[in-house]
Structure 1
Amino acid sequence: MQQSEEPGDDLVDAVMTASRALLAVVVRSLAAVDEDVTLPQYRALVVLAQRGRVRPAELAAALAVTPPTCTRMCGRLEAKGLVVRERPAGDRRAVDVSLSPAGRDLVDDVSRRRRDELRTLLAGVPTGRRAAVVEGLRSLAEAAGEVPEPDWAVSGVAR
């Protein structure tokens, strides 16, 4: 990926403002489905939905948290019935983490609510400017290393 000059304050300010709006959509969508799941926990569920069964160290790296933090988070999510921790055959020391059916349902429900709210929000963007929004947001997601939405949400990787 080719990098360009350092972004100016106008770009940073625009993304900061947009991120507040997008975070509000996520918070409302999550609260409507399950008030007991925190945003960091929901992020872990989304990563598991994207990647399927993973080792806790891989999940911790994806979330940019320490392995002990990830272990505690997985314990809380397991207690809520949203993830499953299993030992793979042939390796008694290893543990894999994956979404439970309830965890997959939660991610799907929140995603549906987010999509609905985003459709309403984006209806306010003038038609002639939508292609520029798509291009800009795709560039931002790519720079952040995010998996494109259709690649995981529609296909249901972790089902």
Structure 2
Amino acid sequence: MRHVPKPVTPPPAPKFRALLLAPPQGEEAMPPTRREERAPRRDDPRAGDSHIRLRAAPRHTETGNANAQDFLDQVGDEQLNLTVELLCLRRAIDELARHPRGQTLARALTVREAMLTRLRDALECLYVRTATRRLHPLFLDDGPLADYLRGLYAWLHAAIRAFDQLVDSI
């Protein structure tokens, strides 16, 4: 039995039609727009709401902890700033390591940068554990723990800035 090939059929024609007329132009070309909602007035309680960091309203018994929540929001911002500064320092150290004169200093700064990163990670663990509302009284804005944490963050920022200046000077 001989194999006879089947005839090849051409592919089907496309199902679309070419656009022969130009689309409408001007005001009638666009669909009607919805009216924008007015921005809340300053006396509206929603005027100060954050659309980035929403959180549950405090209970009546926890109104004193709102001060602690503001401080913890500042700690979250400090964590973000430290992360960015440490990434910039890491990049500067990597650039320094490419130069023959800076390789020894880059190795020493890498050790220091790792120590600063560990401290930042430990502070992040502390920050994550503050999600429990029971701990909020410990973090009142005028409390000693808040002052201690502010001092730690200030020291970290100063140390990173000093290392950045050292790398830039070489």
- TM normalised by structure 2 equals 0.26
* Structure number with bigger Rg: 2
**Larger strand percent:** 1
- TM normalised by structure 1 equals 0.28
